[in-house]
Amino acid sequence: MTVAVENLLAQCALKSTGSGLVIDCPSISVANLLWEQRQEWIGITRLFHHSGKIKLVVKGQDFASPFNPFPEQGLPNFSDRVRQSMDDNLLRAPQKLDYRDILDFVRDAGDPVCVTNHLTNTCLLLNDRFSADRITWMPAQYIGINFLWLWRDSMDDYEVLQRELRQNGRVDNFTFRLRRVDGSMAEYTKDFFIADDFLGYPARISISKDWRPLSVAH
């Protein structure tokens, strides 16, 4: 049985370097599965680099030689189509956008963007537009975290968001409270929309507009 690529990547640490992307796997079995299914996930490198090689390691030790995912040409650029859809207010749930569309949008967005598995609340991707005061960790450190835990003290806000997304497929300027990973509480204002296919799962995409701290870390 094929293991979902998303579940495999969620177990790994991703690090952007000057020459490409390093994927540090927790075990040889995970590395083997990723290698066998690499055609399904190599597009993720475009979030970190327009070009560059990908290197699989296991707990810091080399697993396979670095490889170029796009030896001749990159994936087609879908970002213009995605932005046009947003401008035309056509984003209704679920959207016929695949993971390559989403990667292009996240990479090219001018605002902080986060992609979350809409079914499991697992963090999948963040871009590099988050300021140091807004985000406690480096963006790659959030990948694989279950964000539902961060909603634990504001489940009423979470339920309102879920209801709006079910009804409309998107929510603009949604203000909510969230517990940050350092234990502090903050208030955020974001746009949300649902895309129907990120590596086989519906994705909840948020575009951050504003935020303010409500309490300090404890």
Overall CATH class of domain 79-213: alpha beta
pLDDT given for residue 187 in this prediction: 96
* Domain(s) of CATH 3.30.450.20: residues in the chain: 79-213
* Most confident stretch, 85-94, 95-104, 117-126: 117-126
Instruction: Decide: pTM greater than 0.75.
Output: no
Confidence check: pLDDT of 172 > 90: yes
The pLDDT assigned to 154 comes to 92
Can you tell me the distance from the alpha carbon of 210 to that of 176, in angstroms, rounded to the nearest whole number? 11
CB 27 within 8 A of CB 58: yes
Is residue 189 predicted with pLDDT exceeding 90? yes
- pLDDT tens for each residue of 39-94: 767 655 444 444 467 788 898 888 877 766 554 443 334 344 444 444 333 344 34
Which strands sit side by side in the sheet containing 123-126, from one edge to the other? 123-126, 113-117, 201-213, 185-198, 170-179
Residue 95 has pLDDT above 80, yes or no: no
